[in-house]
Structure 1
Amino acid sequence: MNMLNYTQRRESWQPGLSLDSRDAVFEHMLSALCNQAFFQINPKLDKATILKALIDREEQRATGIGSGIAFPHARLELLQHPLLAIATLAKPVMFDTEPIQIVCLILVPQSDSSTSLKLMSQLSKIFRADATREQVLAAASPEDLYALFKAHNPRLDRPLLASDIMRPPRWWVRPEDRVSKCSHMMGVNGLPAVPVVNENQEILGEITVDGLF
């Protein structure tokens, strides 16, 4: 299965949007996606429900992954098939504390979380190269944007690996940090363990609740 099978023709490719907030980006992208053809397939869904699901997910944890890229996503009980849309922004928009300029919006049925993870994995691989990100931002039309992704032939056929979906640790301490900092971080955020990393963000070990309390 090719990743592009989850996109619509023009509606999924939205380059050069001029918007000033995260929620405005979501609304604009959904307005294009949620057309008559979409509602013929998903008659029990409405744009407001999808928008709320995206915002609720962002409130749990912002979906920025670094390098100005975000993967906002939602799992929807009444959605019939996965859907992917990609937008670029003329100027960065803040997703929590991260400025975002490439938005990959992913919608999947409630029971199909694996497709969401596979899409994120393939997108992450495509965006690893600085040159690719620059080309995506420079795309002037939906056709140009589509062609860039098609050239990568992004497949979803192989098994998903842990390395495909891992992210840098959200919480971490350095070896020289005081234990009081670690215990406060773990207590406030309800963490059973926190990794200890060096200056290169390489994990050296971990501190667990058992070792503190």
Structure 2
Amino acid sequence: MKLEQILAPECTACDVEGGSKKRTLEQIADILAGFRPGIGASELFDSLITRERLGSTGFGKGIALPHCRLTNCDKPMAALLKLREPIEFDAMDNHPVDLIFALVVPEEATSEHLAILQLVAERFENASFRNRLRNAQSNHELFELAIAPLPN
């Protein structure tokens, strides 16, 4: 699977005022609910928060990968946010987060969910990839850099 199959330009935002973990998850829910008719922002936010309570999705290195399964989601979808200022996210390395890739998959998509998370995690392990995203100046540039082949 390629990122452009789950991440749309409309769900990519640069220079977002996050403020807090909760507020950022609310923004993600609003973005994805606005993009996909039939999915409510409050239901999506509740699912993201419920998953977050199981353990932080703060990946480390300034990255968070919040994710959840949703019953009325018919195919995987994602949002990518570059925050204006890093926020506390209870990350594994205790560093604040400034890049957030959120994933929502159908309830029954267990193996697909894990495969997408692995793909995204591998991309974010690449320091050049992270740096390119952090240097993006617009939503369009952030999207294009996110879906581009990984740098060496």
**Fold match, TM over 0.5?**
yes
User: 2:52, 2:66 within 8 Å by CA — same for their partners in 1?
Assistant: yes
Query: Superposition RMSD on alpha carbons, in Å?
Result: 1.6
Map 1:122-201 → 2, pairs under 5 A = 122-152=119-149
1:115-165 per-residue CA deviation (whole Å, 9 max, x = no partner) reads 221222112222222222111011111211121122227xxxxxxxxxxxx
Contact 2:31 2:79 in 1 (8 A): no
On the 8 A contact 1:88/1:101 being kept in 2, the answer is yes
2:36 corresponds to which of 38, 43, 47: 38
Match of 1:119 in 2: 116
Aligned residues: 147
Matched residue, 1:67:
61
Distance 2:51 2:133 in 1: 25
Give, as a single letter, the amino acid of the residue that structure 2 aligns with 1:152. P
Q: Would you say 1:101 and 2:106 are equivalent positions?
A: no
Runs of 5+ unmatched residues, structure 2? none
Larger Rg: 1
User: Which amino acid in structure 2 is aligned with residue 90 of structure 1?
Assistant: R
Query: Which residue in the other structure is 1:195 paired with?
Result: none
Do 1:86 and 1:105's aligned partners in 2 also have CA atoms closer than 8 Å?
A: yes
State the distance in 2 between where 1:143 and 1:56 align: 31
Any unmatched runs of 5+ in structure 1? 154-213
- 2:2 paired residue number: 2
1:23 matched to 2:22? The reply is: yes
Q: Which amino acid in the other structure matches residue 126 of structure 2?
A: A
- The one-letter code sitting in structure 1 at the alignment partner of 2:42 is A
Higher relative contact order (CA 8 A, sep 6+): 2
Kept in 1, the 8 Å contact 2:47–2:68? The answer is: yes
Give aligned-pair identity as a percent.
Answer: 25
Inter-partner Cα distance in structure 1 for 2:88 and 2:14: 17
Amino acid at match of 2:17: S
TM-score (norm 1): 0.64
